[in-house]
Amino acid sequence: MSTHELLAGFPVVIEQVVDWGDMDSFRHVNNVVYFRYFENARVEYFEKLNWKDDLAATGIGPIVATAQARFRRAVQHPDTLLVGVRVSEMSEDRYTMDYRIVSKKLNEVTTLGDTVVVAFSYSDGKKVAIPLELKKRIEQIEGKQFVV
């Protein structure tokens, strides 16, 4: 199966080089590094949403509530990974972002993960409803509507 097929359904995909320093003493990428890979993909998704402008205008931005990963294959340096991200679920004040990491060297899915992201008012210090314009932009990127 091609890497394109392995990442079908993920509208945002980044390329992530595995650095030598990402590995631990067991000669594979350390488990905590995958959360940085997820973050890099998530930030790219946020860039496509143009959330920085929303944050500047409204004070509402994303905050991660939970994060988890499932490791399927060990990754070693040198390698280049493709990290796909998509929004799979949405409610009034939060949405779930799914991640899939594919190794170019192995041509396999190595890691799966997800985060729950909450819309957060940084000025008030509490969660808020996802702004309607942001919800519409997420639906545009995903090519589907979410029932909230």
For 47, the enclosing helix (H) or strand (E) is helix 33-49
Please check whether residue 90 lies inside any domain of the structure: yes
| pLDDT per residue as tens digits for the range 29-54 | 999 999 999 999 999 999 999 988 88
- Per DSSP (E only), the strands in 18-127 are 60-71, 80-90, 94-103, 108-121, 126-127
For 39, the enclosing helix (H) or strand (E) is helix 33-49
Please check whether residue 139 lies inside any domain of the structure: no
What total number of domains does the chain contain? 1
**Residue 32 to residue 12: CA distance in whole angstroms:** 22
Average pLDDT on 72-97 reads 98
Q: Is the peptide bond before 131 cis (omega within 30 degrees of 0)?
A: no
Please check whether residue 45 lies inside any domain of the structure: yes
Q: What percentage of the chain reaches a pLDDT higher than 90?
A: 92
Average pLDDT on 140-148 reads 94
Please check whether residue 147 lies inside any domain of the structure: no
Please check whether residue 26 lies inside any domain of the structure: yes
| pLDDT per residue as tens digits for the range 6-27 | 999 999 999 999 999 999 999 9
CATH number for the domain harbouring residue 59? 3.10.129.10
Please check whether residue 148 lies inside any domain of the structure: no
**Residue 121 to residue 6: CA distance in whole angstroms:** 36
Please check whether residue 46 lies inside any domain of the structure: yes
Nearest Cα neighbor of 99 from 38, 12, 35, 36 is 38
Please check whether residue 141 lies inside any domain of the structure: no
Instruction: Determine the structural domain holding residue 26 and report its residue range.
Output: 3-134
**Residue 13 to residue 83: CA distance in whole angstroms:** 5
